[in-house]
Amino acid sequence: MIRNLSYKDQELKEELERLLGKPYSLFEVLRLGSIGSPRMEIIEGSNEFQDYLTHGTGRKFCNIELRPKGIIVRFRYQLETMGFIVPFHLLKIFQNGNLISIHSNSMNLTADMSSNPASSQRFIGKMLIARLDVLQQFNLPS
């Protein structure tokens, strides 16, 4: 699902915490090292993303925030911050060279990690380990 994350909204905050867990505390961020990916250029997206990606003439960028039970892929649309919300049990990741494709149900977003490949690879590894931990904890198929 795609949500506008620009404004403080208690209902949205509760929905995100229910789906993805509460944001990591400062202590947990220091322990984990980092919970955010480097900036990546968005290459393409499914039909749900077309309005967001075709508006304007500039390149589109995103980054990924790690949460205890999922991820938020953040990107800008006009002056708004949008989020592609993906719980780990719906997350599928495909990687081809420096391209990463994030799938959830029928939605997908493909981004280019070539601007900072080493940091991006470390973050993707951390995200996959977190996903596997959550799926094993709830006995869900990986």
Six token digits for residue 72: 């938020």
Angle at 8 (CA atoms; ends 7, 14), nearest 5 degrees: 125
How is the chain split into domains, by residue range? 2-137
pLDDT at 21 (0 to 100): 92
CATH class of domain segment(s) 2-137: mainly beta
Task: Tell me if 61 sits within 8 A of 41, measured CB to CB.
Answer: yes
Q: Are 110 and 98 in contact (CB under 8 A)?
A: no
Which of 9, 137, 141 has the alpha carbon at shortest distance from 69? Answer: 137
- Each as own residue / partner, the long-range contacts of residues 130-136 (CB below 8 Å, 24 or more positions apart, any chain) are 130/66, 130/68, 130/88, 131/88, 131/91, 134/68, 134/69, 134/88, 134/89, 135/88, 135/89
Task: Note down pLDDT in tens along the chain; length 142 residues.
Answer: 999 999 999 999 999 999 999 999 999 999 888 899 999 999 999 999 988 888 777 889 999 999 999 999 999 998 899 999 999 999 999 999 899 999 998 999 999 999 888 898 899 999 999 999 988 887 767 6
Task: Look at residue 72 in the predicted model and tell me its pLDDT.
Answer: 97
Q: Is 84 helix (H, G, I), strand (E, B) or coil?
A: strand
Question: In this predicted structure, what is the pLDDT of residue 131?
Answer: 92
**Cα–Cα distance between 137 and 75 in angstroms, integer?**
30
pLDDT of residue 54: 84
* Residue 79: predicted pLDDT: 87
